[in-house]
Structures are given as C-alpha cells and as structure tokens.
Structure 1
Amino acid sequence: MWESPRTALAALAALALTVGVAGCAGPGGTETADDTRDETTAEEPAPPLAFAPEPAFELDTGPGEDRPAVLHEQSVFVADEGGVSVFDTATGDRTARADTEHTPLNEPWTVAEADPGQLSEAEAAELEARAASRAPVGRPTVAHQDAAPAVLTAHAVRSGEGESGPYALEVIALDAADGQVLWRHLVELPDWDTDDGALSATVEAVHEQTAALRLMGDRMMTGALAIDTRSGRTLWHDDRFVIMGADGDTLAGVLFTEDAQVFQGIGITDAGQRWSTTLDAPLMTTTTVGPYVNVEGQGDSPRLLRSGTGEAAPATEDGLTEQTRCMEDASATVVVCAGPDEGALALDSSTGQQLWRLPADTSATWTGTPTAAYGDLMYVSSEDATVVIDPATGALVHDDAGTAPDAVSSSAALVWDEGSRNLSVHHPADPVS
C-alpha cells in the first residue's frame, strides 16, 4: 500500500495547480520533454512574425486548468480522458485518433455535454459542478523515441475488463509525423488508494528509454514513477516525490516528509539521489524552464535553479520578481526572463551566465512577458502589443505580432485562453510594417 503522508500532501493543495511549464525544452514547435530539440533548417519556412487575430478554428477541450494540447509542426495533439486526437493545423480536420484499450477511469468530457446553452438550469448547474471536479488532463509530451519525435500521453484507466480491476495508467506513444501508435503500456497501480481521489498523470520527462510521470489525485500531486518505454516495466515509484523539472538524466523535485520539504535531484532510471537541499520557506510555485526550475518560496524572491545540480543561475540571483516569467528558446541555448515592469535579462542555458539585460524603464525597446518560442525567435506579450525578439541578443525583430501565441510552429499558433479554457488555432498573417 502506498502510505501517502497526508500531512505533507495537505501542503500540496495550494501548489497542485501552480506547477507550470514555461519554455519547457522549447515551447511551440519544439515542445519536448527530453534533451533533444527540433531545429529550424534552411529548407524549413521562416518562423512567422505575426498571426491572424481571428482563429482559423477552435478545438473543444472541455474545462481544465492547463492546456491539454501540444503543437508539433503541422499537427495539434489534444489529449482527453480516453485517448488523444490529432488535428491538421491547416484545415482543423482530425487526422488520427488513439483510444485507450482499457476503460477510462475518469468519465470523458464530450462536446455535446459542453454546450450549456442546450441545457436546463438544473442540468447546467450539474454540468458546472462536474466541470469543477473534473480530473486534470495531462498535456501531451513530445520526446524522441528511436531518434524520431513521438508524442506521449498518460491516461487513468481500469486494468481489468470493463469497470473492474485496479487503477492503472495507460501510456501511449504516437508517431509525431502521422499520429500512428508506436507503442502503449499498461502501468498498474494495485495499491492506489481510492481515497486519494480521481487519478490523473502527465509524462514529465523522457531520457533515452525512460519516461517519468507525475501523478495526481483529487487535483493534488501525489507522487511520481518511471517506466521503461520498451517494456512498460515500472522502474520505481515514490508517493512523496513531486517532479518539478529535468536536466538530462536527472529529475528535480520536492520530497515531502512529515517534517520538511526537501528540494532534490534524483536519477530518472533509479531514483538515486544526486543532490539535495532543504527549502528555507514553504514552496509556493514552481515553473519548468528548460533545464531549470523557477522556484518561489513563501516570502522569498524567485530563484532559477538548475535541475541537474540544484545550483542557482548566477545571472538571476537578483533579477527575478513575482511578475517575471522565464522561457527557454527553441534551440535550448538561451533563457529569457522578462516581466511587464521588470525589464528583461537573458542567460546562457548551459552556464547560467548573463548574456544581455534590458532596463526596467522607458529606455527599453520592448517590455512584456515571453509566451512562446520557435526557430530563432521569441514572442513577447504586453498590454499594448505582442512583439517578436531575437532571444540571443534581445533585439526587437518585429513590433506587432498580432495575437499572443502560447505555442508556435511554421504553420500555426496555439492560443489558450485561461479564463474560458478555449483552445484556438491561428494561422500566420502578413506582418504589419
């Protein structure tokens, strides 16, 4: 039986939905969770400088706290409780679908149910209550399998026939090029306590033939495990460890004990400790930024810590605030940290040393927070406009990109509205000069 330390996990309630991904291994066309990157070559189209304000089409994902979709080249992969669908960015047509082979543990949200205008007042209230309690749907993850891009998803299922059998996860890998299933594995959780609530999971990191997953129950993070992607065998699981980031074969996260929160790095294949440090203040939020984790403790200024070592990036020790957002560029060489009123700075992804800095005053050529990256560009949004910059130098490339994208490829941009939970696809537009 997994003996979850309930007192420690109670502290996760506030943290459960504040672990985010910002430039996790390069957002947009390179939203990867391993230590490889897609590169824009001379034969590929140039990165778009602007996007149409009106969406080409919208995708119904149902209610949720995070974008359950990933953009890869000309396809959008959208996960749900019972599988993953693939849509063409040009037409909006569904080009592939992979359903779980086992019964989904969580009732799938359907398009018909998601139209409150067709419901009575009582039905609408019931639907709203169900939406509020819907288990999170993990974002698909792009990682390399056998040297080719693949999209991995994890779904909570029953391991037996129909509604019977213990709780389990069905992990599915799709070929990123055509959406065909490469492999699927059933990961049984025979000791999952039903009192832990609705189970869900996300593939957080992949290194070679190992995938690490973060588990959630009742919208609270309740541990982690790793599997061998060739056999599906569970390599380790720990109900006290919450994955926050990854750097090569090292996972960074927090080990919750009865007495403390320990920020530590462990090996992805064996969970062996690589480094460890005790947090001085209760952890409030974390955001994955390429090989770093942006950590903010209660009453402390945010710090950018290297997942592989736990060491702070020298360039950011006095440069981050609560409003600062950090993002890694698509080539995994530069991390840009910027905020609406904080100016901006960039650091070398490998060394953590500062590359450039913009002042937090009217002399700055641009302001805002980074939202997406693709090719050799980064997209930055402010109240006034979305601009495009060169992350390597901080130079302004274009001052009006139109819609602020959350992910970018050569063919489209994804825009996720956190308020309405609406996912829309926007096509490139001719930039306004």
Structure 2
Amino acid sequence: MVDLILKKRAGGELSDAEIGFMIRGFVDGTVPDYQMAAFLMAVYFQGMTFREMADLTAAIVASGETIDLKAIPGIKVDKHSTGGVGDKTTLVLAPLVAACGVPVAKMSGRGLGHTGGTIDKLESIPGFRTDLGLAEVAGQVREIGLAVGAQTGDLTPADRLLYALRDVTATVDSIPLIASSVMSKKIASGADAVVLDVKAGTGAFMQKTEDALELARAMVQIGRQHGRRTVALVTAMDEPLGRAVGNALEVHEALAVLAGEDPPPDLVELCLVLAAHMVFLAGRAGSLDEAGALAQGALASGAAREKMRAWVRAQGGDPAVVDDPELLAKAPERTAVRAETGGWVQRIDARAVGQAALALGAGRTKKGEPVDPAVGVVLHHKVGSWVEPGAALATVHGAGRGEAEAAALVREAYVLAAEKTAPGPLVHAVVGDEEYENRAM
C-alpha cells in the first residue's frame, strides 16, 4: 500500500490489479484507515484518469452484492441527482417514467448538510418503507414497474467506508472520488441506463458550471465503460427548485405536480426534461420530442398519479396521501418572512434557504441524526417575481427550533432590484456522445 501511495503521490497511473488490491484490503481491514486517507489525499491533488476511475468504480461494485434485474423485460433506467435545495424530482420522476412503461429501480440516500435526501422525503409519508432488501427491490420492479430504497450494507460497502473517511479528511470534493462513488451505486443497482442530473450553482455541491461539466463527463465516461447507457444534464441550482424546501413539504409539492394543481413551473419543466431522457434511453420513443410527449401525456392523463398510489401502497405507505396531502405531517408554527422594501426578485441564494431548513431540523449536520419531517420553508416569490413592500417572501414552518435563525437566513437569501431579472435556463448542458448531444440541445 505504501508503494501505491507513493505512485499516486508522484502522479502515476494505477493498474486495475493495484486498485483492486487496495479496495479489497480496505474492506477486509488489511489496509488501515491512515493509509487509505493518505491515498485519498494523493488522488485529491493528482487526480485519476478515466480508466482509473472506471477500475475504482468496478472495485467498489465488487466489494458487495448487486441487484439482478435481468429477468425483468425492458431497459431498466435509473436517475441520480448530485443534490440541491428543494430537489424533489425523484418523487415525480419515478412514477411518471414508470407510467410510460419504463422500469425504474433506484437506490437513494439521506440528506446531509443543506441538501435534502430522497429517502428522508419518502419516509415523511406515513408508513412508507425504504429498507428494502435487494430481492425485494427486484420483485417490486417486476410487479409495479418501480422501487426506490435506501442503500443497504450489502450494496457497495467499500463506498460507505470510503465516504466516511473522505468526510473527515477534507477529500469529499474530489471529482474522481465523487464520480466513482456515484457510479458504483448506479451500476450495483442493476439498471441498464442512467440519467444524471448534475447540479451547478449556489445551492449545489459544484457551484461552478465548468466543475459540474467536468464531473458530468467523468460519470458518463465511467458508465459507458461499464456498458451502461449514460447521459448527464447539467442543471441550475442558483435558486431552490420549486417552492418547498423540507421533507413533507416537498412531498406535498410533488403530489401537486402529479395532480396538476398549481405546480411550480420550474419543477414541472425539469421533471419533464429528465423524464424525456429516461424514456428515450429506454427505447420507448424514437426521439426526445416523442419521449417528452409521452411523459406529458402520462402526467396529464393521471397515469403518473395512479402509479404513485401503487408505489406508496407497495412500500407500506398510506396511499390516501396521494389524494389528500393534508395527511402529511405539519409543523405547529408558521412565520411569514416579509419584504422590507418592494422590487423584483433578482436572486435567491439556494444555499441560504437550505441552511434555513437545516436550522429548523429538516436536515442533519452528521450522519445518523434524526430529522423533523414537518419543518421547512415555502417560498412565495421566485426570481423574476414582483414583490410589494411588506409582502410575504416566504413562510417558515417550524417546531420550536431555529425559527428566528431560519427567518433571517431566508430574508438574506432574497435580493430585490429595481429592474426585472428573467430566470436563467434550467438546463446548461447535455453530456453524452456527440450524436446524442446534437439531438438533445
């Protein structure tokens, strides 16, 4: 292991056998934490080639079990987001794409820091189970066309160990390490195709678009080297997605999209764009336009909403929530955050809004902490909106913790101006092969 640390520290390229030796040793305990920490820091400064990233991904996948979906007809499609504020797209996309006849199998994570986690959001639905076994995931996809579960200890255990070490050694924000971590879970989950939503902006892990593009290219390359149809979209995360930030609040908003009841336009647009790519990759349409029309049809007809009911029921949740979101948990206290002056909303700092939700208890600062499903923030104005003096910018939904701090953060997040600012594009770039990119943009 010392030789491998020295080799990477000097900028050398590790072989497949060397990477495999290192990961196996780390999992079985023959490679100690302090040596792996040194190696991670060497990677942080020296980087990795695409081939090394693909081999690291394969070694992480090989450290545990995988989900076998081969017996299920059709091309199975997964989707992954690098995380953002108010990003509840999976709650809409999974039933929407499944309603288009595309099997969806997804392993999701919990929230950490200012970004929310899909598993926390789903668990805010009364009775909803996310601790599915690997065979259970495959069986549910076969039965109703979709399943979303929490990552289990049997799936990519090396990734779990590596992430814990990266978290305490300041090596989380390394593109090779992020790319191999994300793609190992996607490959182990058994899908044939993957659509990646790589966020860029103040509320994202990658704040610069060029960094998000670099990460997107790395993950697409890894996916292809592992035989997966992989496409990435670099999307905006400068303001929260939709209006709601907080677990039950986001479920409520996702259900509004499925019901067509005053849904936020940006959330609907992004869900339909991602759905089009998933449906197209699955071969259910001859073009992205046709795939988009299928997705719009499934949303407008109520088929996606009906699939949501089946999904909630299959995982032990109360399907009545789909028709009556008021059954979701509610925070006991609501505080309006009012504008001190009037003007056009020029900017909303997504990270500050995420930190406000975190202060209320909607997220966690370290793994294992409980979250309050009811608390969060609902925005009443988005970029490009006119605000009267004294009007409510947002409402803080609290439970006796952090309301004053959250309100101050939300107020600071809003920047008003005398002139109107139009919202920027939701999709900055599509990363695939040249032919796919030309067809997509």
Same fold, judged at TM 0.5 (above): no
TM bin, normalised by shorter chain, reads: under 0.3
TM-score, length basis structure 2? 0.27
TM-score, length basis structure 1? 0.27
Higher strand share: 1
